Chains A and B, each alone.
Chain A
Amino acid sequence: MNMKLGGARRLWTVLLVVAVAAVPAARGLWLELPSTGTKCVSEELHNNVVVLGDYYAFVGEDYDANATSTPTITVKVTSPYGNELYHKEKLSHGQFAFSTTESGNYLACFSLDNDLGKKVTVGIDWKIGIAAKDWDSVAKKEKIEGLELELKKLEESVESIHNNLQYLITREADMREVSEMTNARVAWYSSTSLGICIIVAVLQLWYLRRYFQKKKLI
Chain B
Amino acid sequence: METRGRIIRCGAALLSLLLLSLVSRVSALSVTVNDVECIYEYVLYEGDTVSGNFVVVDHDIFWSSDHPGIDFVVTSPQGSTVHTLKGTSGDKFEFKAPRSGMYKFCFHNPYSTPETVSFYIHIGHIPTEHDLAKDEHLDPINVKIAELREALESVTAEQKYLKARDARHRHTNESTRRRVIFYTVGEYCLLGLVSGLQVAYIRRLFSKSVAYNRV
A interface residues, Cβ below 8 angstroms from B: 1, 4-5, 8-9, 11-12, 15-16, 18-19, 22-23, 25-26, 28-32, 39-44, 61-62, 105, 121, 124, 126, 128, 131, 135, 145-147, 149-151, 153-154, 157-158, 160-161, 164-165, 168, 171-172, 174-175, 178-179, 181-182, 185-186, 189, 192-193, 196-197, 200-201, 203-204, 207-208, 211-212, 215, 217
Q: Which residues from chain A contact B118 at a C-beta distance below 8 Å?
A: 43-44
A-B contact pairs, 14 of them (CB 8 A): A1-B5, A8-B12, A12-B11, A42-B30, A105-B30, A126-B28, A149-B17, A150-B149, A157-B149, A175-B166, A193-B191, A200-B195, A208-B202, A212-B206
Give Cα distance in the complex from A18 to B15, angstroms: 10
Chain A interface, >50% SS class: helix
Give Cα distance in the complex from A19 to B20, angstroms: 10
Q: In the complex, what's the smallest C-beta–C-beta distance from B103 to chain A, in angstroms?
A: 10
Chain B interface, >50% SS class: helix
Is there an interface contact between B12 and A12, defined as CB atoms closer than 8 Å? Answer: yes
Is there an interface contact between A11 and B12, defined as CB atoms closer than 8 Å? Answer: yes
Give Cα distance in the complex from A200 to B189, angstroms: 12
Interface string of B197-210 (1 = CB under 8 A from A): 01100110010000
Given A26-B44, A161-B155 in contact, is the A15-B12 Cβ separation under 8 Å?
A: yes
Q: A26-B22, A40-B31, A201-B195 are in contact. List 16 more A-B contacts (CB 8 A).
A: A8-B5, A28-B27, A29-B121, A31-B31, A40-B32, A41-B30, A43-B28, A43-B29, A126-B27, A150-B149, A157-B153, A157-B156, A160-B156, A178-B177, A200-B195, A208-B199
Q: Which residues from chain A contact B135 at a C-beta distance below 8 Å?
A: 11
